[in-house]
Homo-oligomer: A and B are copies of this chain.
Amino acid sequence: MIRLFVPDDLAAGSPVTLSAAQAHYLRDVMRRATGDDVALFNGRDGEWLSTIASIERKAVGVIPKRRTREQTPGVDLELVVALVKRARLETIVEKATELGVHRVRLAVTRFTQAERTNVERLTAIAVEAAEQTGRLDVPEVMGPAKLEAILKGWPADRALIFCDEAGDAPPILEAVTAPRERSRSGPGAEVESSARPLIRPGIRPATFSHEGRRAPTSGAVATSILIGPEGGFSAEERAFIRALSTVIPVSLGPRILRADTAAIAALSLWQAALGDWRP
């Protein structure tokens, strides 16, 4: 079943006109015809089984028939990633979408070479990935801002997982899971994040309601994951980041990872340990 993201409200019987690109895709690439089914979603109204009502040269009309999935809140997981080369940035946005992030924020850091990127193109990649992965929403891609500006006034209730290449941070899985497990099993006391109250075992995944309010799940931990550029962070940046009260420095193993690998690994680990991959 082809899934398409549309900006329109979705309700039974209310016709929706697809974009020219979607019309081309349905008609010329996928060879769909009047009467065929597609699924529509808009990030607000769930997923709708819909029927192609008309196919013109430039316009395709689709009519929602029946809601097949209710809109559910996603996890409040954000990726803050330094501007890296275009191909890797595109990979990161595609994968972050598949891995359920709520938002991708692009950061200009000391060692990034670029200050701008094509946010429109990255958003199009997020839309396509959301359609393919079965999400009911599309993550927001926020255009580049200086890292300092992003971190200034960091919310006291948002954990910042800092993927730190410098080598003295605890392994990510230890850092984000049970301190009691670690202290029970012995030498966990030196793990600096073990005492932080924001990441606890047995919490419910942090959720985000699509009306902009935090969903009222107890113990929810809104989280951002910070990935640096391939040259790493400067000493000043590291000091600034590690001074934040909600920071959780983590290490991603003994090898040097490219930025896209680090982003995918950290997001997967978070989803598996604390997010919507849990049973």
Contact = CB atoms under 8 A, between A and B. Distances in A.
Interface residues of A, number: 36
A135 interface: yes
B171 A98 contact: no
Interface in A234-279: 251-258, 260-261, 264-265, 268-269, 271-273, 276-279
A59 interface: no
A129 to B, nearest CB: 8
Contacts of A261: 94-95, 98-99, 264
Nearest to A254: B276
Contact of A98 (B95, B135, B173, B255): B255
A145 B265 CA distance: 28
A268 B269 contact: yes
Interface of A: 91, 94-95, 98-100, 132-135, 170-174, 251-258, 260-261, 264-265, 268-269, 271-273, 276-279
